[in-house]
Amino acid sequence: MIEPAIALYGSTFQSVMKTLEELLRESGARYVMLLDRKGFVLAHKEALWAPRPPALDSLATLIAGNAAATQALAKMLGEPRFQEIVHQGEQNGLYVEEIGEVALLTILFDNSAPLGRVKLTAKKAAQALERLTREAIVTPNKLGIDTDYRDGANALLDELFGN
Amino acid sequence: MSTINFAAREINFKIVYYGPGMSGKTTNLKWVFGQIPDTRRGDMVSLATEDERTLFFDFLPVDLGEVKGFKTRFHLYTVPGQVFYNASRKLILRGVDGIVFVADSAPNRLRANAESFRNLRENLAEYGLTMDEVPIVLQANKRDLPDALPVEMVQMVIDPDKKYSMFEAVASTGVGVFETLKAVSRLVLSRVATAG
């Protein structure tokens, strides 16, 4: 498999969370998320004052799909990639920054957070996150899922979908 | 490859429904969405045109439950089947853990099945993958058509060596939908277990 997997845990995860927390505070954004390229949420943080975010799974999937499409577009234009994606609406905005090859940093912000500050703080966080995610890349066959896990999951499949 | 989040204790798998245009990929997902309790699934996201043809993808997260302390989830995707959407179709295959190939049983779609399967092989190759490296199951859909071709004939054009399991289905009424999904899930699970 060429697609590397990210396994965030332990002290690396703590450092990622700390970085996201700082970013949230300094940028004034509502939500920050770290996704992998496939659209799975690796870590996320919400501002206490912000309303409940929309479904994170759906958000992450659409952002990853959007980033993939944007990257394909960049390649057609002779760029390896566009490093950042900004979407600005009337009230809310979305900022996505690439974290190396494998992850995406996503910031959702509203009018109270100036785009300039979002960008500035995002770049800083991106540097830290790039280092951290590189440490977290594992080769899939070292994930250590055993046959017990498989048997348990198979039993749940029967329960959910019937025999 | 599967994403493991040790911090949140989650294991995620990506399953992609592939196949020619109008073969019933979205219908498969809609049936799953409609049948499993809403505590076990998230929202379904559909990026479709006004006449409900898939434009980019459909997405449905399914919660299997907790296994050995790990929340296990399957993320189900469909691709747009129409030939000219290959650029976006290719994107969906990124990081896929298992594939359901939905073939159309209609006689005039036999060639479309073969073309779509070949297209799958080419798109996987661009990610450096061969058909042997990804778990694949086949589904012969629309078995309720009065002029539906024999399953053997559908399989013959896409999989002459009979390497993959084939399931008969009528996705619009749910026949064979869960069986197919269960089969591909089992393949995906057995693959990670042997790798570990």
The pLDDT score that the predictor gives to residue B6 is 63
pLDDT level of residue A1 (50, 70, 90 thresholds): very low
Total domains present in chain B: 1
More confident residue, A143 or B105: B105
Total domains present in chain A: 1
The pLDDT score that the predictor gives to residue B77 is 96
**Residues from chain A contacting residue B40 (CB–CB below 8 Å):** 160
- Give the nearest chain B residue to A147 (CA atoms): B193
Q: Which two tokens stand for residue A160?
A: 């959910």
Cβ contact, residue pair A8, B5, below 8 Å? yes
Cβ contact, residue pair A57, B61, below 8 Å? yes
Q: From the CA of B108, how many Å to the nearest CA of chain A?
A: 32
CATH number for the domain that contains residue B154: 3.40.50.300
**Chain B 161-190, CB below 8 Å of chain A: which residues?**
178-179, 181-182, 185-186, 189-190
Cβ contact, residue pair A58, B45, below 8 Å? yes
Q: From the CA of B114, how many Å to the nearest CA of chain A?
A: 25
Cβ contact, residue pair A58, B59, below 8 Å? yes
What would the mean pLDDT of A17-28 be, rounded to a whole number? 96
Q: From the CA of A44, how many Å to the nearest CA of chain B?
A: 11
The pLDDT score that the predictor gives to residue B130 is 94
Separation between Cα atoms, residue A48 and residue B52, nearest integer Å: 39
Q: Encode pLDDT of A34-53 as tens digits.
A: 998 888 898 999 999 999 99
B125 touches chain A (CB under 8 A): no
Percent of chain A whose pLDDT exceeds 90: 58
Among the partner residues A146, A156, A157, nearest to B193 by beta-carbon distance: A146
Domain that holds residue A90: 10-161
CATH number for the domain that contains residue A63: 3.30.450.30
The pLDDT score that the predictor gives to residue A2 is 44
Domain membership of residue A1 (yes or no) is: no
B34 touches chain A (CB under 8 A): no
**Chain B 60-119, CB below 8 Å of chain A: which residues?**
61-62, 64-65, 67-68, 70, 72, 75, 87-88, 90-92, 94-95
Mean pLDDT per block of 10 residues along chain B (196 residues) reads: 68 94 96 94 90 89 88 93 91 94 97 97 94 96 97 95 96 96 93 62
**Chain A 73-132, CB below 8 Å of chain B: which residues?**
none
pLDDT level of residue A87 (50, 70, 90 thresholds): very high
pLDDT level of residue A163 (50, 70, 90 thresholds): low
User: How would you write chain A as a 3-class SS string?
Assistant: CCCCEECCCHHHHHHHHHHHHHHHHHHCCCEEEEEECCCCEEEEEECCCCCCCCCHHHHHHHHHHHHHHHHHHHHHCCCCCCCEEEEECCCEEEEEEEECCCEEEEEEEECCCCHHHHHHHHHHHHHHHHHHHHHHEECHHHCCCCHHHHHHHHHHHHHHHCC
Domain that holds residue B162: 3-194
What would the mean pLDDT of A5-23 be, rounded to a whole number? 87
**Residues from chain B contacting residue A43 (CB–CB below 8 Å):** 7
Counting one residue from chain A and one from chain B, the pairs whose CB atoms sit within 8 A come to: 136
pLDDT level of residue A86 (50, 70, 90 thresholds): very high
Domain membership of residue A152 (yes or no) is: yes
What would the mean pLDDT of A51-78 be, rounded to a whole number? 92
Residue A145, pLDDT above cutoff 70: no
Q: Is the dihedral of CA A76, A79, A81, A87 positive or negative?
A: negative
Domain membership of residue A4 (yes or no) is: no
Domain membership of residue A91 (yes or no) is: yes
